């Protein structure tokens, strides 16, 4: 993979992880308002976005594991950072939404 291809995959990861992050924060807002069905739907949608980001990430890992030399890309690093923090946010949102449900 050349640098441009790696950079494009980085942008793809950023986009999917960013969409997931937005959905997770909207889910928390829905839970704060007592709309748990909406919160659950948004968390599920975020999971789909995360899966798509992970698929892009896995394609790179597979190529590297097969011995392909991958170009360095700050955009890819940025995407990895977004994905990692979004995964953490998803875990946190799950617990916070459950707390809101128990308080309802």
Which residues belong to the active site? 78
Here the tokens at position 79 are: 């995407």
Distances in Å between the alpha carbon of 27 and those of 8, 45, 47, 64, 89? Answer: 29, 10, 12, 36, 11
Burial of residue 83 (CB within 10 Å: 0-12, 13-18, 19+) is buried
- Taking residue 69's Cβ as centre, other Cβ atoms within 10 Å add up to 8
Q: Which of 50, 85, 68, 78 is nearest to 2 (CA)?
A: 68
């Amino acid at each position: 993979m050349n640098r441009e291809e790696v950079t494009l995959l980085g942008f793809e990861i950023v986009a999917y992880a960013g969409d997931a992050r937005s959905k997770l924060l909207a889910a928390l807002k829905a839970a704060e308002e007592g709309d748990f069905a909406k919160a659950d739907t948004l968390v599920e949608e975020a999971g789909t976005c995360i899966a798509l980001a992970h698929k892009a990430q896995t394609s790179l890992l597979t190529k590297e594991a097969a011995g392909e030399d991958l170009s360095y890309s700050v955009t890819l690093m940025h995407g990895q950072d977004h994905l990692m923090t979004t995964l953490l946010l998803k875990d946190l949102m799950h617990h916070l939404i459950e707390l809101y449900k128990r308080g309802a």
